[in-house]
Amino acid sequence: MSAYKPEQCRLTVRGRELHFVSYEGREANDRRGETEMPAMWYLMCEGKRCPAIPHVVDQPPAEVDLALRLWAETNVFGSVVQFPAGTRARRAPTDQRNDWWAPK
């Protein structure tokens, strides 16, 4: 039985609440073809998890918040496209066919 205790962190970045959970690392298993994974923080989204940054035991919460916030800024939101004033972003016709929630 492992003594690892998962941690959780909720951050609000750009008005969106992000939920991160730490998971224990695992050793490599050649029979299963699994590689070694360190303990990591994962972003939880719609029942799935996305690896974010390595989890360091006993790291101060302020450092964890800052590291997760920086990761989210670059990997979740990325760069925002700025359009010139007075213009609208338009979808390509192929995007409209795949966009099931768009008005018809």
The reported pLDDT for the residue numbered 2 is 74
- Reported as a pLDDT band with limits 50, 70 and 90, residue 87 is low
pLDDT tens digits, one per residue of 18-63: 999 999 999 999 999 989 999 999 999 988 999 999 999 889 999 9
Q: What percent of the chain has pLDDT over 70?
A: 74
Number of CB atoms found within 10 A of residue 61's CB: 9
- The mean pLDDT value of the chain amounts to 82
Q: Are 67 and 9 in contact (CB under 8 A)?
A: no
Distance CA 103, CA 73 (A): 31
- Reported as a pLDDT band with limits 50, 70 and 90, residue 9 is very high
Distance CA 100, CA 48 (A): 22
Three-state DSSP class for residue 32? coil
Q: Is the pLDDT of residue 10 over 90?
A: yes
**Tokens describing residue 83:** 């359009």
H helix or E strand, kind and range, residue 63: helix 61-72
- Reported as a pLDDT band with limits 50, 70 and 90, residue 91 is low
